[in-house]
Structure 1
Amino acid sequence: MLIKDIIEALEKDAPLQYAEDFDNVGLLVGDKNTKATSALITLDTTEAVVDEAIAKNCNLIISFHPIIFKGLKSLTGKNYVERAVLKAIKNDIAIYAIHTALDNYKKGVNAMLCDQLNLINQRILIPQKQTIKKLTTFVPKAEAEQLRNALFDAGAGSIGNYSNCSFNVDGIGTFNANQDANPTIGKKGETHYENETQINITFPKHLETKILSTLFKTHSYEEVAYEISTLENTNQSIGMGMIAQFEQEMEEKDFLNYLKDKMKAPYVRHTQLLNKKIKKVAVLGGSGSFAIGAAKASGADAFVTADLKYHDFFQAENNILLVDIGHYESEQYTKNGLVAILTKKIPNFAFVLSNTNTNPVKYF
């Protein structure tokens, strides 16, 4: 098995096209065509993690956070980033990072956080915009079914819990082929009238290349008429954060103690207690201050996240309980989730869960 095969399996669920613009995801170190021995799954790639990969004979590290975030102008080992990268290169270890592509995956980081807290009825808190596209094309009526089925097989036409969705309109198409053309229907120099079907079908944006390739391969015309537009429809399968709920409500103090226990958090920071029960909870692993407004708008009783600054807490405005459980704490189970995902996809390959604690924050 090659490294690229593992990457393709992972990106089938969490395509890099849905990572945030600021992020640096994908294969950061190494050659994707290298044969993979085994893969170490970690939250962060540090020197200690690279040492662990060496000791466990793993030539691939799959990391949630990217070790290379900003551009490297030199590789001299002057900081922890350069030292980790140099050690990986020296020992022929590839490094792959998935970060916000997994954040935006419906069953990714925030679903894993919800699962750890036993939250049910999960749905995305902030759906990512402009992720749904629509193809409109025109095909001879006799070929419409064949083309539709080919597009369905390529991944188009899925909307929520429904598949093979399209809208079709029959009409008359006209064209006149010049002397340089090679028409499959009609004659050069004559205007041809053809009974055609207009096919309208949606698809996720990361499949655009595949959808167009299928269109051109299946369509009989020399020149295929088509349009692609980006829709503003809400996509409930891609986005940041989750809103979910407990089966049974609990008191605020019981909720805070529950968080500390389930998330192994030495302490939590929170806003003023509101003397109300906690049932509906919004979560966002990692730095989540940008989602406070969305959490409030969702009607959540509490918002669990990390890296809240002093002034962020004022945004609660006695409407919601904001809880900062720590960055590492909020994402620590991501590596376990990645191992589960990959083991299910590739059961006969060794995916090794890193036992290196990469939390840089210590508590006294």
Structure 2
Amino acid sequence: MTIKEVTDILEEFAPLTYAEDFDNVGLLIGNATTEVDGILVTLDTLENVVDEAIETNCNLIISFHPIIFNGLKKITGKNYVERVVLKAIKNNIAIYAIHTALDNTPFGVNGKIGEVLGLTNPSILIPQKNTLRKLTTYVPVAHEESLKNALFLAGGGDIGNYSHCSFSIEGKGTFKANEKANPTVGEIGQIHTENETMVSCIFDKGKENRITQALKNTHPYEEVAYEITSLNNTNPYIGMGLIGELVEGMPETSFLEMLKIKMKTPIVRHTKLLGEPIQKVAVLGGSGAFAIGAAKAAGADIFITADVKYHQFYEAENQIVIADIGHFETEQFTKNLLVDYLTKKIPNFAIRLSESITNPIKYF
């Protein structure tokens, strides 16, 4: 398989269009047409991870965090980022990062935390906006069903737990073909009227290329009339964070003890305990203090995240418990998630879970 064939499979799960604007995702180092010998999956791409890739004959590293985040003006090996880039290039190792594309995927980083904690009825904490598109096109009545089926197969018409969603209106279309045309119906130089159906369907913006390709491959006309509009609808199935419920409420201290065990963290930094049972739980892997307000608005009893600053803890305002369990700890299961997914999709390929330790924080 080529790198592109592997990353295409990965992007079916976490399309790069889901990533935040500030992020740097996708293939960071390497050529997409390179044949893949082996895949190493990691949370961070550090020098020891590149060494591990060399030792295990893996020429593609799939990393959660991007090693190149800001622009590099020089690559001289003066810091850990530049040394990783130099070593990877020297040893023909490609690096691909997925980061917030996986954060915003419903079964990604936060979905995994929710699974580990046993949360039920999960939903997105901060849904994304402007992720939906609507296709409208016009097709002869006899070709309506075949066109819709092609669009559905390409990912059109999926809305939450429903698929094959569309809307159709019948009407009359007109056109006149010039002497250079090769019309499917009608005569050159003559105005033609055709009984047509206007077909509309919604799709995720990450599927736009597939949708337009399916449209052009299936539509009978030489020139296809269509429009794609961007919708301002909030997409409740894509976005940051997750909120769910425990099967049974727990005393705060019991929940915190369970949290330490299941999330494998030696310490939890938290705000004042409120003396109320924990039932509704909000989570956001990584630096998630920006979502404190959303967790409070959603009625969460506790918000689990990382990298909360001193003054941000004040935002709890005796309405919620904020628990900071560490950046690495919130994202530690991410590489397992990616390995499990890729193994199911390409079971006969060498996919390795990195054994390198990349957490820069130690506890005494």
Q: CA deviation at 1:249?
A: 0.8
Q: CA deviation at 1:182?
A: 3.4
> Hey, what does 2:10 align to over in structure 1?
10
Q: How many angstroms apart in 1 are the aligned matches of 2:164 and 2:285?
A: 34
Q: How many angstroms apart in 2 are the aligned matches of 1:305 and 1:322?
A: 8
* Letter in structure 1 aligned against 2:347: P
Please give the residue correspondences for 1:1-364 in structure 2 after superposition, counting only pairs within 5 Å: 1-364=1-364
Q: How many angstroms apart in 1 are the aligned matches of 2:209 and 2:30?
A: 25
The answer to which of 329-338 and 224-233 deviates more is 224-233
Q: CA deviation at 1:85?
A: 1.2
Q: CA RMSD in A?
A: 1.3
> Structure 1's 176 and 32: CA in aligned 2 closer, same or farther, altered over 3 A?
closer
* Letter in structure 1 aligned against 2:76: T
Q: How many angstroms apart in 2 are the aligned matches of 1:182 and 1:338?
A: 48
TM-score, structure 1 as length reference? 0.97
Q: How many angstroms apart in 2 are the aligned matches of 1:91 and 1:206?
A: 32
* Letter in structure 1 aligned against 2:228: I
Cα-to-partner distance string for 1:72-106 (whole Å, 9 max, x where unaligned): 11111100001111111111211111101110111
> Structure 1's 92 and 179: CA in aligned 2 closer, same or farther, altered over 3 A?
closer
- Give secondary structure in 1 for the equivalent of 2:358: coil
Q: CA deviation at 1:232?
A: 2.6
- Give secondary structure in 2 for the equivalent of 1:58: coil
The answer to which of 316-325 and 215-224 deviates more is 215-224
- Give secondary structure in 1 for the equivalent of 2:78: coil
Q: How many angstroms apart in 2 are the aligned matches of 1:135 and 1:61?
A: 36
- Give secondary structure in 1 for the equivalent of 2:299: coil
Q: How many angstroms apart in 1 are the aligned matches of 2:176 and 2:2?
A: 49
Q: How many angstroms apart in 2 are the aligned matches of 1:311 and 1:293?
A: 14
* Letter in structure 2 aligned against 1:8: D
Q: What are the ranges of 5 or more consecutive residues in structure 2 without an aligned counterpart?
A: none
- Give secondary structure in 1 for the equivalent of 2:237: coil
TM-score, structure 2 as length reference? 0.97
Q: How many angstroms apart in 1 are the aligned matches of 2:54 and 2:187?
A: 67
Q: CA deviation at 1:188?
A: 3.3
Q: How many angstroms apart in 2 are the aligned matches of 1:179 and 1:85?
A: 56
* Letter in structure 1 aligned against 2:252: E
Identity over aligned residues, as a percent?
64
Q: How many angstroms apart in 1 are the aligned matches of 2:5 and 2:222?
A: 34
- Give secondary structure in 2 for the equivalent of 1:161: coil
Cα-to-partner distance string for 1:232-266 (whole Å, 9 max, x where unaligned): 33323211111111111111111111111111212
- Give secondary structure in 2 for the equivalent of 1:112: helix
The answer to which of 179-188 and 218-227 deviates more is 179-188
Q: CA deviation at 1:111?
A: 0.7
* Letter in structure 1 aligned against 2:235: N
Q: How many angstroms apart in 1 are the aligned matches of 2:250 and 2:216?
A: 57
The answer to which of 181-190 and 10-19 deviates more is 181-190
Q: What are the ranges of 5 or more consecutive residues in structure 1 without an aligned counterpart?
A: none
Q: CA deviation at 1:223?
A: 2.5
* Letter in structure 2 aligned against 1:5: E
Q: How many angstroms apart in 1 are the aligned matches of 2:61 and 2:220?
A: 45
* Letter in structure 2 aligned against 1:351: I
Cα-to-partner distance string for 1:287-327 (whole Å, 9 max, x where unaligned): 00111111111111110000111121111111111111110
- Give secondary structure in 2 for the equivalent of 1:261: helix
* Letter in structure 1 aligned against 2:288: G
Q: How many angstroms apart in 1 are the aligned matches of 2:28 and 2:188?
A: 52
* Letter in structure 2 aligned against 1:271: T
- Number of corresponding residues: 364
